[in-house]
Amino acid sequence: MSRFNQFTVPVARRMPVIILADVSGSMSVEGKIETLNRAIAETIASFAEEEDVRAEIYVAVITFGKDGAKIHQPLTAASVIQWTNMEAIGSTPMAAAFELATTVVEDKNQIASRDYYPTIVLVSDGQPTDERGHLTDNWKQPLQQLLNSPRASKALRLSMAIGADADYEVLKEFLQGQPQDIPVFRADEATQIRQFFRWVTMTVTNRSKSANPQSMPIIDYSNEDLVF
């Protein structure tokens, strides 16, 4: 037997990034959905360029709008994703998005035990509604189930409010219980959506290159281009 066979090439552990994207009808105005599509596509492309033996970044996108919450982009290695643009239509069924996110995060067929803790990103421009488009607080229990689930409770969670009509309290509650007090990012203009996702990209890639990617990084949100 060749002595070279005694050595194995280390296999990178997966680092999941799960984006919960509001695709309600209000996202169709002022260039919001177009900018969000571009920002996510750019983020995936940046992740695809990262090469590290410790971590390979995987991305999933869950949308919530017409017909509830859906997996728009299954959890896949960023390096092979062919991004398909999202469309904005319908209400804001955030409760369904939290339920689906819990299912994905806790599914060991999608996120294995050896994978790194995920990063979960919530993006919304409105207030949670039911299936008929009426304002509701039905998101509270699904959110608590997500935050209390074994893996999501250890995840890095980030959120962005798009425009003045976004529900800051929901987005803030999504961030609760983390080692560091992370504020809600504000995007008052569509261009700031891309700034947020550039920050997300930097945060995740820095974590993937750290000495211990499993530990939660200290988040730097002092960048003057970011609004909280």
pTM reported for the whole predicted model: 0.91
The identity of residue 167, as a single letter, is D
Name the helix (H) or strand (E) containing 62: strand 55-65
Residues whose CB falls within 8 Å of the CB of residue 205, separated by 6 or more in sequence, listed in order: 46, 47, 50, 57
The pLDDT score that the predictor gives to residue 6 is: 54
* Residue 46 pLDDT class (50, 70, 90 cuts): very high
**What domains sit in the chain, N to C, each tagged with a CATH number?**
12-113+128-162+179-208 (3.40.50.410)
State the chain's mean pLDDT as an integer: 90
**Residue, of 211 and 90, whose pLDDT is higher:** 90
Lowest-pLDDT choice from 22-31, 43-52, 189-198, 211-220 = 211-220
- Provide the 3-class DSSP secondary structure of residue 142: helix
Determine the average pLDDT of the residues in 163-172: 96
For Cα atoms 67, 144, 222, give the angle at the middle one, nearest 5 degrees: 95
Q: Enter the tokens of residue 6.
A: 């005694």
Alpha-helix runs per DSSP H in 27-122: 32-48, 94-106
The pLDDT score that the predictor gives to residue 52 is: 73
Q: Which of 128, 146, 114 is nearest to 22 (CA)?
A: 128
